[in-house]
Structure 1
Amino acid sequence: MCKLHSLFFLLFSIFSYIKLSKGSQPISKTITVDLNGLADFNTIQDAINSIPDSNNEWIKIHINQGTYTEKVTIPYQKSYIILEGDGSNETFIQWGDHEPIIRPDLDADIKISWNTATFLSLADNVILSALTFKNTYQDLDNPQNAVAALINGDKTSVYGCSFIGIQDTLSDLCGRHYFRDCSVEGIVDFIFGYGQSIYEGCTLNTVSSGVPVGYVTAQGRQQSNDPNGFVFKNCHIGGSAEAYLGRGWGNYSRVLFYQTYMENIIVPKGWIDWRAGYGGNFTTFAESDCIGPGSNTSGRVKWEKELSDDDVKKLTSISTFINSDNWLDQQPNDYGYTSD
């Protein structure tokens, strides 16, 4: 389901990997954005557009504090971009597009998500830091697809960012991603996609709405040999509404919560098979060493998986699950990543 790059971009990625194989790379240039005209650009999109196609040196776009009401896209051909704010409580990117989910098939779901997203990140090698991405659609009695951010590029790391919405808040759509010290807010499938991602030290909050019960995740793994899945490590789940930990968006959906604190909002069954339709025979929904009143597994569905210590270690290890080629080590190291 992930978009295939053209031969040009494949060759470009190989060249870039060779170029970056020696370790953490410096930031070659910093440009700034300010709403009041006190910087290089007034809009984030203009700053992104100024970066040449096929760029292969890290360029930082620092976004001064303020609320930027604009849809923002990092195109496929503009890699090695850092978007950095003054803090997730200081720099906001927001828009309010929304569409009802018809769900004839997965491709239709994805197309709608692309249409509504406040922020689209399509390029490989991107860093996001100290920003809030928000979809301002606020009809709590009628949740619709209203994506705050959609990440479809490989090798994306996200530090100290917030994602705010109601339904489909964060589309962790495709690629290897690392989220650290982030927060995600919503009620229906508010983290969804085919991403191969680790969320470390993140906060996941449900919001009250007209929906009787919510779903934290909807992971879309389609085949048993697909490497993707969502891993939540040392996270915190809370909020104001009951929710399942996840439901299967693909036949082989894979989600693991590890050493995560769960408030008393988790539905006792924990999981729903949903679209997979196989009674959980092929899904990998699991919990390991979690704590808190919502972590009691005695009422969980019978098909929740009990992973071996070795399997848990493989999934929760950054170096094993998402960083086998050391791409995180090759990114500028100013943003808090440390290898495990």
Structure 2
Amino acid sequence: MKATITVLVAATALALCPPGTASAAGGPRLSVPGQGRGTCVDAPLKITFPGAAPGLGSSGAIEIRRADGSLADRIEAAVARADRKNIGSAISDTGLPHDFSYESIMIDGDSATVHPHHQLEYGQEYYVTVDPGVFPGWDGVRDHGSWRFTTRKRPVRDDPRHLTVSASGTGDFCTVQGAVDAVPTGNRRPVTIDVKAGVYTEIVYVREDRPHVTVRGAGAGRTVIRYPNNDLRNGDKALSDGGPADVCPRRVLETSDLHNCWRASFGVDAADFRLSDLTLHNTTPDGGSQAEAFRGNNERIVLERVDLRSNQDTLRLQGKGFVTDSRISGDTDFVWGTGTVFIQDSVLESTDAGYISQSRNDATRPGAVFVRTRLTRAPGVPDGSVVLSRSAVWRFTHSQAVFIDTAMDAHIAPVGWQIDPNDCAQARSASFWEYGSTDLEGRPVDTSRRLPCSRLLTAAEAERWSDPAFVLGGWDPEPGHR
């Protein structure tokens, strides 16, 4: 049973070679994930060059055709860095399909990965051609017999309860989004998607009508889902002149949430969603604009044993969310949103000077509560350069951030909190609370220089706010309690 369907192509004469062997002429290796029963219908295609990849050209195309010659997909080099496709059957607030900007050809080291615009068909034989201009200096693939593969004969069960994802092709799907798309719309029963160890480079989106989904990896650092999605690619900066197809569904803030729902590497608009045992990494470079690793906008969202990495706005929750035994890294508002969020037994790492959290809750619900967390910093982050939370109190008058039994390094500023304007008279409805703060060695922190309109909780208050069910309105989010 083969883990990958592989064809080795010489630079001039395109010859079929046994899988796993080397081309005598040193040509690129062409492959798709697969096994004896055929490849996944959502499989990316991969071209591995004998040296570094030659770069992406500005002309030509990669075509995927059925065995009868009919066109299944066409990926053009000229638009590959900012191509568009619908992900997760996304629809805007207006009911129109929303297309994400994405890279249909991604170059990493010696490899180029081709991400089709849509899934292929089950039980079909395909061949792939590559025009000479796609990768300058390479003649491409013109022979219809050189790069061929067959997809699996049938889809998964009509009502799947347990799906598997494997980048090597040994699961039901090769991408996380492929498995999410297999969940029935209007789903009412728990569905578990097991994602095997590997790196998955993709935007993932879960639509509102696919609730009760669990995405479970093989462990943080072993299962990695990554993508450089951001505000410049799929947010307000990219879509400020967008049409009705770009308007966010489930908007909480009518104006602020107009387009920014599309910029996360992993976005969820469904309720009763659980994510565990994996790493989400928004690979947007530092300074590359707002870029969430995870965005959740519904009720009863659980994150457990996850590693969330980005720079700005790493974790955004807009409904009720619970995070436990996890790690969150970032520099600017890297835990934020309008939701009620309970985070416990986790590490929050500041990667630069900035702000840990920004809560935009209103008077109808609590904001962000952190219990038994450790606030650490990356090397080079200065002392006193990070605040626990900030808020524009002129706009978000009931902002709440609560830190209970927190161990923090010296990068946390003595003032603790930041408000705009810097006038406590305008923050009478805000709640900036703290209890039991220590340094990383367990010694009590001097809180005498904290913002005057913040306060220390009593022991009784801290006990009450340490209960997730109290904060989350009676919902018990602990594992095993859906």
* Match of residue 174 from structure 2: 42
Deviation per CA, 1:5-49: give whole Å up to 9, x if none: xxxxxxxxxxxxxxxxxxxxxxx8321001111110011111011
Q: Per-residue deviation at 1:110?
A: 3.3
Deviation per CA, 1:277-314: give whole Å up to 9, x if none: 75432211111011117932121111112334443233
Structure 1 gap segments, 5+ residues each? 5-27, 333-340
Deviation per CA, 1:70-89: give whole Å up to 9, x if none: 11011101111100001111
Change (3 A) 1:154 1:236: same
The 8 Å contact of residues 279 and 303 in structure 1, kept in 2 or not, is answered as: no
* Match of residue 438 from structure 2: 291
Q: Does 1:187 align with 2:331?
A: yes
1:322 to 444, 458, 472: 472
Change (3 A) 1:99 1:325: closer
Counterpart residue type for residue 257 of structure 1: F
2:366 to 222, 225, 228: 228
The 8 Å contact of residues 286 and 304 in structure 1, kept in 2 or not, is answered as: yes
Task: Output aligned runs, 1:261-340, within 5 Å.
Answer: 261-274=407-420, 279-292=426-439, 295-322=445-472, 324-326=474-476, 328=478, 331=481
Q: Per-residue deviation at 1:276?
A: 9.2
* Match of residue 344 from structure 2: 200
Q: Per-residue deviation at 1:102?
A: 7.9
CA–CA separation in structure 1 for the residues paired with 2:477 and 2:305: 19
Segment of structure 1 superposing worse, 157-166 or 247-256: 247-256
Q: Per-residue deviation at 1:228?
A: 2.4
Change (3 A) 1:238 1:35: same
Change (3 A) 1:126 1:117: same
The 8 Å contact of residues 229 and 265 in structure 2, kept in 1 or not, is answered as: yes
Change (3 A) 1:273 1:106: farther
Counterpart residue type for residue 287 of structure 1: E
Counterpart residue type for residue 300 of structure 1: R
CA–CA separation in structure 1 for the residues paired with 2:323 and 2:166: 26
Task: Output aligned runs, 1:10-159, within 5 Å.
Answer: 29-99=161-231, 107=254, 109-138=256-285, 140=286, 142=287, 144-159=289-304
Change (3 A) 1:108 1:98: farther
Change (3 A) 1:30 1:317: same
Deviation per CA, 1:158-201: give whole Å up to 9, x if none: 110011011111112x2221111111101011110012121110
Structure 2 gap segments, 5+ residues each? 1-92, 94-159, 241-251
Change (3 A) 1:215 1:327: closer
Superposed CA RMSD in Å reads 2.7
CA–CA separation in structure 2 for the residues paired with 1:316 and 1:81: 27
Counterpart residue type for residue 270 of structure 2: A
Q: Per-residue deviation at 1:97?
A: 2.0
CA–CA separation in structure 2 for the residues paired with 1:118 and 1:52: 22
Question: Match of 1:313, SS?
Answer: helix
Change (3 A) 1:162 1:107: farther
Whichever of the two has the greater Rg, that structure is 2
The 8 Å contact of residues 468 and 476 in structure 2, kept in 1 or not, is answered as: no
* Match of residue 24 from structure 1: none
How many aligned residue pairs are there?
298
Change (3 A) 1:306 1:137: same
Task: Name the structure with the higher helix share.
Answer: 1
Change (3 A) 1:218 1:143: farther
The 8 Å contact of residues 224 and 281 in structure 2, kept in 1 or not, is answered as: yes
Question: Match of 2:261, SS?
Answer: helix
Q: Does 1:260 align with 2:406?
A: yes
Q: TM-score, normalised by structure 1?
A: 0.81
Q: TM-score, normalised by structure 2?
A: 0.58
* Match of residue 10 from structure 1: none
Counterpart residue type for residue 179 of structure 1: V
Question: Match of 2:164, SS?
Answer: strand
Q: Per-residue deviation at 1:132?
A: 1.1
Q: Per-residue deviation at 1:99?
A: 2.5
CA–CA separation in structure 2 for the residues paired with 1:182 and 1:110: 27
Change (3 A) 1:325 1:192: closer
Change (3 A) 1:327 1:200: closer
Higher relative contact order (CA 8 A, sep 6+): 1
Question: Match of 1:272, SS?
Answer: strand
The 8 Å contact of residues 435 and 458 in structure 2, kept in 1 or not, is answered as: no
The 8 Å contact of residues 236 and 259 in structure 2, kept in 1 or not, is answered as: no
* Match of residue 244 from structure 1: 387
CA–CA separation in structure 2 for the residues paired with 1:164 and 1:112: 22
CA–CA separation in structure 1 for the residues paired with 2:421 and 2:289: 18
* Match of residue 7 from structure 1: none
Task: Name the structure with the higher strand share.
Answer: 2
Counterpart residue type for residue 253 of structure 1: S
